[in-house]
Amino acid sequence: MIKLFVDKREFKRLSSLSTYSIKDLEKLSGIKAHTLRIWEQRYGVLKPQRTESNIRYYSNEDLKKILNINILNNHGIKISKIVKLSDKEISQKVIELSQVNTAIDTQIDALMLAMIELDELRFEQVVTSSIVQNGFENTISKIIFPFLKKIGVMWQTGAVNPAQEHFISNLIRQKVIVGIDRLPYPTSKTAPRYMFFLPEGELHELSLLLYCYMAKARGAHTIYLGQSVPLDDIQKVFNVRKPQFIVSVFTFSFQIETEEYIKQLSKVLSESTILLSGFQLMEYKKKLPSNIKIFKEPEDFAKLVEDHIKATIA
């Protein structure tokens, strides 16, 4: 039996503090490092600290302030006016904007702030407002997915406190599970059947849940196995339910070669089409077995499901 484990970087991140380099702030806010330095020097927007070796770094408070300023600046308020506002006034204006503005960048930055501040009310306001204005699935594909990608950048730089990541992930998870439960059970006996799972050792299931929602919303039958499922167990479920399609997400590096696992998966589930996604597969260049496909975006997955549904009707 093949075992997959999160690599050493994951364990290192669990003990990391939430501190940022100027390049981290650039990636997370979208504001060029050069502009951030000008704002720091001219307006005192940032208050960097220094390590013992004299390397500058920034705190959560710096990141929150930059995200707030960026939202206001993107809505036409000049930086010279923003810096005259108190932190409380800036925060209040951002909350007001995020509740009425449907711009994707605004909503994503608002979610980022909710995560940093561990603010459940702000999360609820942003997501509920987006669902009312755009619908549940558009909120998932246009806001939640890009937001998760942004969190991924923060994980890669070691810039997210584990408590923050767990906090926001669980809130999103609750929303998606409720969304799945509210969908009607597929009535068509000929609709395709999808099985969803994460490889053994993989625990980050948000993307998988979102894909499960998208499949069920389109009328497919779904079997959700969840996190860290051994290959032997996957085979046993397959033998009973015979799903035509298998969906999985590879987020982190594993101690075993991804190529080897893909070959094993293809062999064990040779009667199904296997749809794979995730960070570890975005740049995968090696030849895939004939029954395995890689998709990159939620829109790609939605199109695949719609084509499968049409094929069963035809």
Range(s) of the chain covered by CATH 3.40.50.280:
184-313
Look over the chain and give the mean of its residue pLDDT values, rounded to a whole number: 82
Range(s) of the chain covered by CATH 1.10.1660.10:
16-180
CATH T-level fold of 16-180: Multidrug-efflux Transporter Regulator; Chain: A; Domain 2 (1.10.1660)
pLDDT of 259-303, one tens digit each?
888 999 999 999 999 999 987 787 777 889 999 999 988 889 999
Q: For the domain 184-313, what is the CATH code?
A: 3.40.50.280
pLDDT of 98-153, one tens digit each?
666 557 777 888 888 888 888 898 899 888 888 888 889 889 888 888 888 777 65
Sheet holding 273-277, edge to edge: 221-229, 193-199, 245-249, 273-277, 292-294
pLDDT of 158-183, one tens digit each?
556 677 878 888 999 999 999 999 99
pLDDT of 46-67, one tens digit each?
888 888 888 888 887 888 888 8
pLDDT of 73-86, one tens digit each?
877 888 989 988 88
